[in-house]
Amino acid sequence: MPAIVRLVPCLSDNYAVLLHDDTSGVTAIIDAPEAAPIIAAAEAEGWTPSMVLVTHHHADHVQAIPELKARYDLTIVGPKAEGASIPDLDIAVSDGDEVKVGALVAQVLSVPGHTAGHAVYLFASEQLLFAGDTLFSLGCGRPFECPPAVLWHSLERLRKLPDDVRLYCGHEYTQANARFALSVDPGNDMLKTMAQAIDARRAAAEPTLPSLLGLEKQTNPFLRADDAALAARLGLAGAAAEEVFAELRARKNNFRG
């Protein structure tokens, strides 16, 4: 495959990604939490980044843009709805737009909820989804700028993507997310197996990403707010999916397990 992905740990628990098109030699950075590790990773590969694809405006996703742009000849791509809050934005994109990284083509999907203008990048031919802080492995972002129902409908949209899509997200939250998921879905055998594998990866200081979207559909409670059995376990039998999702998100916000 022409697409090569390198996950770059940044700050305390963030990830940036280097996406390299081996056919053209073009390299993109997805989100920019911290310049030094991104530069080090690019230099280790012998790649010169030429683009940054921004998912949303939060500082831990954009704060390294000025330093990176001063070092490289970068084009900054990000959601039009958050353009005023993204440093040095060159290309503002909206839902349905295409972004090219060499020969690789991403579709921009608008997924409001965590922030009002959050976007994700789907490279369908490569089965790659760069989801920022909308969808995490076994979790989702907090709905800071929108009601929970808005985020739920964005997650419904992502849930419709093919099972073989590989999910990359903005943080290494998977182990904590697994503990919460087990607290609301303790009888899910697939989740139990996944949680054990996650614990082993983290014990070996390995990342838990990427995750397969098909596996997330079976194990991530935030993708299953319309599951009647899950709703019943929450004491919300017959409730609307939006209400179940809001309850899940509230419980996760207060979870200390």
* Average model confidence (pLDDT) across the chain: 97
**Tell me: the pLDDT tens digits for 183-206?**
999 999 999 999 999 999 999 999
- 177 pLDDT above the threshold of 80: yes
pLDDT digits (tens, 9 = 90+) for 133-147: 999 999 999 999 999
Question: Coil, strand, or helix at residue 119?
Answer: strand
Give the pLDDT of residue 1: 58
pLDDT of residue 257: 76
Domain ranges of the chain: 3-92+103-168, 174-253
Nearest to 28 by CA among 37, 40, 16: 16
- This prediction's pTM: 0.97
Report, in angstroms and rounded to the nearest whole number, the Rg of the chain calculated over CA atoms.
18
Residues forming a β-bridge with 4: 20
Task: Give dist(CA 246, CA 143) in Å, integer.
Answer: 10
Residues 6+ apart with CB under 8 A from 167: 129, 131, 135, 137, 209, 210, 211, 212, 213, 216
In CATH terms, the fold of domain 3-92+103-168 is Metallo-beta-lactamase; Chain A (3.60.15)
Residue 12, C-beta contacts closer than 8 angstroms, at least 6 positions apart: none
> Which of 35-44, 126-135, 219-228, 248-257 has the lowest average pLDDT?
248-257
Q: Which residues contact 181 (CB under 8 A, 6 or more apart)?
A: 138, 139, 188, 191, 195, 219, 220, 221
Buried b (16+ CB within 10 A) or exposed e, 226-235: beeebbeebe
Per-residue pLDDT of 89-123, as tens digits, reads 999 999 999 999 999 999 999 999 999 999 999 99
- pLDDT tens per residue across span 44-64: 999 999 999 999 999 999 999
Residue 2's pLDDT is what?
85
Residue 106 · residue 55 · CB < 8 Å = no
